[in-house]
Amino acid sequence: MKPLPTDSSFYGHPKPLKGLFFTELWERFSFYGIRPLLILYMTALIYQGGMGMNRAEAAALVGLFAGSVYFMTVFGGWIADQYLGQIRSVYIGSILMSSGHLCIALSGFFSDFFFYLGLALITLGTGLFKTCIAVVVGLLYQKADQRRDAGFLIFYTGINLGSFIAPFITGLLAEKIGWHIGFAAGGIGMLFSMLIFRFYCIPQLKTFNEDLINHKGLDSPIAPNPYAKKVIYSFIILLSILIAMVYSGWLVIHPITVVRYLTIAICLIVFVHFIYMLFFAGLKSNEQTKIILCFILLIAAALFWSAFEQTYTVFNIFALEHTNRDIFHFQIPTVWFQSINPLFVITLSPVLAWFWTVLAKRHWHLNPLSKFILALIFASAAFVVLAFACQTLINSNTALASPGWLISSFFLLTLGELCLSPIGLSAMTQLAPDKLRGQIMGLWCTAIAIGNLGAGLMGSEILAQSFNEMSGLLYRYAWILLIGAILLFILKFPLEKMLARTTL
């Protein structure tokens, strides 16, 4: 294979990175533009233009949607590797997502069925798009290319910019004009993403690929599977039958029940798969130890994400009904609070990177287990802050809380996210045995999916209660997170001894 082209027309990086940056920015704009609107729209009364759904079911449905998105990334990666290739997967994914946004925007003129169909299409499209576009970025560089990490940093900056900007636009439009205008704005973002990829990225990537010999993966499957086409068509037929049954009324879906049983089923599948990898995958003893550590980290990650994802349900409702949003005769749209997290991510990431470096220089290196413990503690503290805000409102007989409570909770959750998300991803790549690396990365996405499904159950339980009971439930979940951190701390020392010869 020839060396990768050294074109450095985009800040010293391969030219296709520019288009991929904006493709991802607008895709994240669309996703994080509509996601905070979901529970607000579903729980809004009919005369307010909403669906009039009860909060418990709405929270479960939001969790089901987000969990399905992450779970589908596992299958999206498989389809790209064995049938479509990376470029076609990203393009088809963008078409599906654009169609999904269109369905949601038009559901106000037709029926709620189009709303659910839109969510399903976005789920399928994101499953193809999300994993593959990151793979395409990686294929722009050789493994030893020193620009690689900086290239991904530029790419992830696009993710955070898109998720930061989106709530300002979609939230304002939804609150001041109408829900479906807000949804349509998210759809326009996805349309931009699709057009940029089709007319800017694909030609550049094809030119880039023509400079290579046998560089598989960009526009062809890296491991063609003769059965992949049959599996995909079977899935499409089955999904079409389910959609037809729902549309005709033959199948009624109860979100809470579906989320509960789906969570149990996925957890059992993951557990059985880990048993298989541990005892039947032909691993050496040191590799088995690494697999055990991966399993423990995945459990902790699922617990953390179940708490973090309350930002789109419980925190969103708290911002809507119990937070003072008036500033200088202007009422801040509820969804604007969702921009706090990406803002903190952008500002705190370099600070934490510097802090970890300082600790390492002083020989206080924190391994992934230690950082996961911190993540759970920060999440627990975030719930305590929100619970205390609820309790303060009740005790003082005050109608609305200061936005400082929510901002503080977002700050703590973001610290937890930065201690867990990038650290966990790095740890999985380091700990996973070479022959199981793809499976471990798939299970990392599955852990996020389980966390989102768990968040749906947690949010449905909290929002099903009256406001007077909310603080008690928040304290209870804060204790669960803290107990999780304590258990991880107890396991930390024996695991470190087992991994004494393993570089984390």
Tell me the pLDDT tens digit for each residue of 350-363.
888 888 888 878 87
Q: What average pLDDT does range 146-174 have in this prediction? A: 87
What is the residue type of 416?
Answer: G
Q: Is the pLDDT of residue 19 over 70?
A: yes
Q: Does 259 lie in the same domain as 248? A: no
Structure confidence at residue 213 as a pLDDT band (50, 70, 90): very low
What is the residue type of 59?
Answer: A
Task: Specify if 118 maps to a domain.
Answer: yes
In total, how many domains does the chain have?
2
Task: Specify if 1 maps to a domain.
Answer: no
Q: Does 213 lie in the same domain as 259? A: no
Please report the DSSP string for 28-74 in residue order. HHHHHHHHHHHHHHHHS-GGGTS----HHHHHHHHHHHHHHHHHHHH
Q: Is the pLDDT of residue 43 over 70?
A: yes
Q: Tell me the pLDDT tens digit for each residue of 450-460.
A: 999 999 999 99
Cβ atoms 124, 130 nearer than 8 A:
no
Q: Does 321 lie in the same domain as 465? A: yes
- Ranked by mean pLDDT, which of 107-121, 248-262, 335-349 comes out on top? 335-349
Q: Are strands 330-331 and 326-327 parallel, antiparallel or unpaired?
A: antiparallel
Q: Does 301 lie in the same domain as 323? A: yes
pTM for the full model?
0.89
Residue where a domain terminates, one of 232, 252, 272 = 252
Cβ atoms 443, 270 nearer than 8 A:
yes
Q: Does 268 lie in the same domain as 245? A: no
Structure confidence at residue 493 as a pLDDT band (50, 70, 90): confident
Q: Does 233 lie in the same domain as 300? A: no
Q: Does 338 lie in the same domain as 201? A: no
Q: Is the pLDDT of residue 93 over 90?
A: yes
Q: Is the pLDDT of residue 496 over 60?
A: yes
pLDDT value of position 143? 66
Q: Is the pLDDT of residue 387 over 80?
A: yes
Q: Does 307 lie in the same domain as 377? A: yes
Q: What average pLDDT does range 306-327 have in this prediction? A: 92
Contacts of 504 by beta carbon, 8 Å cutoff, 6+ apart? 367, 368, 369, 427, 430, 431
Q: Does 311 lie in the same domain as 214? A: no
Residue where a domain terminates, one of 207, 232, 252 = 252
| Residue 330 bridge partners (DSSP) | 327
Structure confidence at residue 6 as a pLDDT band (50, 70, 90): low
Q: Is the pLDDT of residue 242 over 90?
A: no
Q: What average pLDDT does range 383-400 have in this prediction? A: 89
Q: What average pLDDT does range 459-473 have in this prediction? A: 87
Q: Does 265 lie in the same domain as 234? A: no
Q: Does 244 lie in the same domain as 262? A: no
Report the percent of the chain where pLDDT is more than 70: 94
Task: Specify if 2 maps to a domain.
Answer: no
Task: Specify if 188 maps to a domain.
Answer: yes
Q: Which of 35-44, 77-86, 256-265 has the lowest mean pLDDT?
A: 77-86
Contacts of 54 by beta carbon, 8 Å cutoff, 6+ apart? 43, 464
Q: Is the pLDDT of residue 150 over 70?
A: yes
Q: Tell me the pLDDT tens digit for each residue of 415-447.
A: 999 999 888 877 887 788 877 877 888 888 899
Task: Specify if 66 maps to a domain.
Answer: yes
Cα–Cα–Cα angle for 196, 78, 198, nearest 5°?
10
Q: What average pLDDT does range 180-203 have in this prediction? A: 92
Q: Is the pLDDT of residue 285 over 60?
A: yes
pLDDT value of position 501? 62
Report the percent of the chain where pLDDT is more than 90: 47
Kindly report the CATH number assigned to the domain that includes residue 144: 1.20.1250.20
Cβ atoms 29, 162 nearer than 8 A:
yes
| Residue of 271, 201, 258 whose CA lies nearest to 15 | 201
Return d(Cα 415, Cα 349) in angstroms, integer: 9
Query: Which residue has better confidence, 474 or 157?
Result: 474
Structure confidence at residue 1 as a pLDDT band (50, 70, 90): very low
pLDDT value of position 211? 58
Which residues constitute the domain of residue 479?
254-504
User: What average pLDDT is seen over the chain?
Assistant: 87
Q: Does 264 lie in the same domain as 115? A: no
Residue where a domain terminates, one of 252, 268, 297 = 252
Q: What average pLDDT does range 219-245 have in this prediction? A: 85
Task: Specify if 5 maps to a domain.
Answer: no
Q: Which of 2-11, 61-70, 92-101 has the lowest mean pLDDT?
A: 2-11
Structure confidence at residue 8 as a pLDDT band (50, 70, 90): low
Structure confidence at residue 214 as a pLDDT band (50, 70, 90): very low
Query: Which residue has better confidence, 195 or 48?
Result: 195
- Token readout for 393 is 């409102």
Task: Specify if 80 maps to a domain.
Answer: yes
Q: What average pLDDT does range 128-143 have in this prediction? A: 83
Structure confidence at residue 7 as a pLDDT band (50, 70, 90): low
Structure confidence at residue 225 as a pLDDT band (50, 70, 90): confident
pLDDT value of position 468? 82
Task: Specify if 394 maps to a domain.
Answer: yes
